[in-house]
Amino acid sequence: MTSGKSKDRKESRSETVKMRDNAGIESDSERYFNRELSWLEFNDRILFESRDTKNPLLERLKFLSITASNLDEFYIVRVASLRDMLSVNYNEREISGLTVGEQLSRIDVKTRRSMALMYSTYSRSLLPSLRAHGIFLLDYDELDKKGKATADQYFHTTLYPILTPMAVDAARPFPLIYSRQLNLAILIEGALDRKQDSSMDDEELRFATLQIPTVVPRLFEVRLSNGIGFVPIEQIIRAHVPALFSGARVVSTGLYRVMRNADLDIDEDEAEDLLKEIEEQVRLRRWGEIIRLEVNEGIDGRLLKFITESLSIEKKDIFSLSGPIDLTFLMKLYSRLSTDYPSLCDPSHRPAQAAMFEGEENIFDQIAKKDRLVHHPYETFDPVVRFLREAAEDPNVLAIKQTLYRVSNHSPVIDALALAAENGKQVMVLVELKARFDEENNINWAKKLENAGCHVIYGMVGLKTHSKITLVVRSEETGIRRYLHLGTGNYNNITARVYTDIGLFTASEPFGIDASEFFNMLSGFSEPPEWRRFVPAPLLLKNFIVRKIDREIQNAQSGKKAIIIAKINSLVDATVIDKLYEASLSGVKIDLIVRGICCLIPGAKGLSENITVRSITGRFLEHSRIFYFFNDGKEDIYLSSADWMPRNLDRRIELLFPVEDAECRARVFEVLKVGLDDTIRSHFLQPDGSYHKLDLRGKRKLDSQKELIRLAEAAAEETRIDVPKPFEPAKAPERYEKSKQ
């Protein structure tokens, strides 16, 4: 039964969703794609990379693992949110015209189709290809005598001691089943000395459950005469279940996994201590409502009935899978095999040295001379770490201020901040505790920083702080000078190896003044009377973007060239979409590189004929946000931490900032130009919502990510290729080849 408090929280959460998803915008399926279905299309593009035999085999394994992981998170966050809305009878139509119930129904149909394709890809394409290279994913029963003996020994020496089978009966209730963890369900019949009767009644059967341990690798490695074998440990455990139930007969076993609602219910206005409140909510997450059950295909009906009744799971939420449950284990397999089979992977990538930094010269002296730009992962993350490390050790540095959203488990950024505080610097860090699935990590870092002497704040009530900014205040002969790093991505040295992001270093005085005002706003109650270079959200950013689009509209209507180019992760905000439609109708040429969700419909007659949308998928995750406006030849270019989504524009602390240095601007132009020239990695969005790849017959083949690797390496060797100007938008492709999605 739902408690009154829980019901109030569900209603509150549904109201939040109602407010955030383009509230007040009239729904229209001819103007907008549905956000959730668009996201599923994005995940299908990742799945397509797994199915594309032109990709190296182990890279295809990795893409399938990412597809599975993405889908898990989509369910425990987005589907969970829709289920909450449905539970309080909130069923208004969203911008594409679908009710909550209709969205859930379409999500279910599309997800089942995608999952069937995932498992078909796994069993019919990837497994045979792996076998051809002497790599075998096997069940226990497929092992030869020697292999079984090795697996048996592993069970008795390693697995058996850590397993905890749990019987379920009147005295022992069904245990807590953790979200996204694999379990074994077991049906047993009393004592072994009872008469074995195949016609026994269900009432004579007993149920037990066993969590598959996560403290050991999911795959057990076995040497074979013709290669190397990997056996999922759940199959080894399943083969040895009788050893866990001495004196009983095992009737059947089945594997299952549940997914729970992972949304945190945080009432920031009522919370006396935000850190303690989030710690409590993270703890309660393990009891979230079950929204999905996965079972192995052919599971005993009696086991399935017991699980669903015990956990109150409806039939519509059951997914029967024809292969290993939870394909995210393929990422670990990729890591294990990549060193032994380099020919089955993309060529190893070592980020180039940052071309705009000069050797070992003091980093502040370099930034003082001119702005510097770094492009990850094509260039190393080292300048960011060096910036902080030198600030921590420099006797002239007085203060460091930084926002942190996601950092790595062993973070050199945290180490540098702690060192700075220990060295007597004034260090202020905003640690965003509400960064989803990084809450515990960020709580731990916040405590470590506080113990080191840093001033730690947790953001502003009701808003997530998503901006990426570091301010270093330094005493110099001419007085106080401020140095900045501003970025499109997190201060995470690990994700910087695979996420494409841009960072700008500057000692520009207008930027520095804005930075001081920005941090004062975060830590206190001040709001600057004006901003010189920064455009923050939620105060100004959406209106700023609208004004920039309006200016291009006015130029187009005056017969002038008008161009808009944006590279973002997601495009959902209806106000921005409507303004882009208006621009298209006015003759503005618009090129959008949107990696993920896109609710805008491109190429629609009488609406968006001048808009082209492409999504680039590859070995790196496209994450940088770049905005370009032709501005009658003056060419404005901005970087930002924000996507064009209601959550970024209306409910987060974000920053957009201009790129002013000529060399830095040229490098950002280069990123856009290469992305728009891509013919291999680009998927083009069609008016019907599908994505197609180019028909490359007779066309130049360009992989943008490979090209950017080449350019970064060339730049490190001081052989940069100039990019032509003025900037011209790419032409909309005329011929497509349907991707097999």
Nearest to 647 by CA among 570, 554, 533, 741: 570
Q: What is the pLDDT of residue 741?
A: 40
Name the residue among 615, 612, 656 with its Cα closest to residue 636.
656
Residue 216 has pLDDT above 60, yes or no: yes
> pLDDT for 459-475, tens place per residue?
777 788 999 999 999 99
Q: Minimal CA–CA distance to 44: which of 98, 145, 113?
A: 113
Q: How many CA atoms lie within 13 A of 679 on its CB side?
A: 15
Three-state SS string over 52-120 comes to CCCCCHHHHHHHHHHHHHHHHHHHHHHHHHHHHHHHCCCCCCCCCCCCHHHHHHHHHHHHHHHHHHHHH
Residue 490's pLDDT is what? 94
What three-state secondary structure class fits 311?
Answer: helix
Q: Map out the domains of the chain as residue ranges.
A: 4-131, 137-313, 364-531, 536-738
What one-letter code names the amino acid at 478?
T
At 273 the pLDDT is 58
| Interatomic CA distance for residues 233 and 155, integer angstroms | 9
Instruction: Report the pLDDT value the prediction gives residue 265, as an integer from 0 to 100.
Output: 58
The answer, yes or no, to whether residue 202 has pLDDT greater than 60, is no
Among 479, 475, 511, 474, which residue's Cα sits nearest to residue 372? 511
Same fold, 137-313 and 364-531: no
The fold of the 364-531 domain, in CATH, is Endonuclease; Chain A (3.30.870)
466 is catalytic: yes
Mean pLDDT of the chain: 89
Of 84-93, 420-429, 534-543, 584-593, the one with minimum mean pLDDT is 84-93
Amino acid in position 112? R
Asked whether residue 27 carries a pLDDT value surpassing 50, the answer given is yes
Band the pLDDT of 408: cuts 50, 70, 90. Answer: confident
pLDDT at residue number 277? 62
Catalytic residue among 156, 240, 375, 466: 466
The Cα–Cα gap between 1 and 17 comes to: 24
Around Cβ 192, how many Cβ atoms within 10 Å? 12
CA gap 203, 183 in Å, rounded? 23
pTM score: 0.90
Amino acid at 9: R
Question: How many residues are given for the chain?
Answer: 741
At 52-64, the pLDDT tens digits run 999 999 999 999 9
Tokens of 509: 């005085």
Of 249-253, 278-282, 429-433, which one has max mean pLDDT? Answer: 249-253
Cβ–Cβ under 8 Å, residues 412 and 389 = yes
* Strands of 318-321's sheet in order across: 166-168, 205-211, 183-191, 248-260, 290-296, 318-321
| 208, containing H or E segment | strand 205-211
pLDDT 10s digits, 360-390: 889 999 999 999 999 999 999 999 999 999 9
pLDDT at 462: 79
Q: Count Cα neighbours of 32 within 13 Å in the Cβ-side half-sphere.
A: 26
Distant-in-sequence, close-in-space partners of 526: CB < 8 Å, separation ≥ 6? 517, 520
pLDDT(268) > 80: no
CATH 3.30.70.20 fits 4-131, yes or no: no
Residue 732 has pLDDT above 90, yes or no: no
Quote the CA–CA distance of 532 and 482 in Å, as a whole number.
Answer: 15
Q: Residue 174 and residue 166: Cα distance in Å, rounded?
A: 8
The lowest-confidence range among 79-88, 92-101, 463-472, 630-639 is 79-88
Give mean pLDDT, residues 287-309: 94
pLDDT for the residue numbered 279: 62
pLDDT (tens digit per residue) in 144-201: 999 999 999 999 999 999 999 998 886 788 888 999 999 999 999 875 334 444 444 5
CATH classification for the domain delimited by 137-313, as one of 1.10.10.10, 3.40.640.10, 3.30.420.10, 3.30.1840.10: 3.30.1840.10
10 Å Cβ neighbour count for 223? Answer: 10
Query: Could you say which of 3.30.870.10, 3.40.50.11540, 3.30.70.580, 3.30.930.10 is the CATH number of the domain covering 536-738?
Result: 3.30.870.10
| Nearest one of 41, 32, 99, 42 to 572, comparing CA atoms | 32
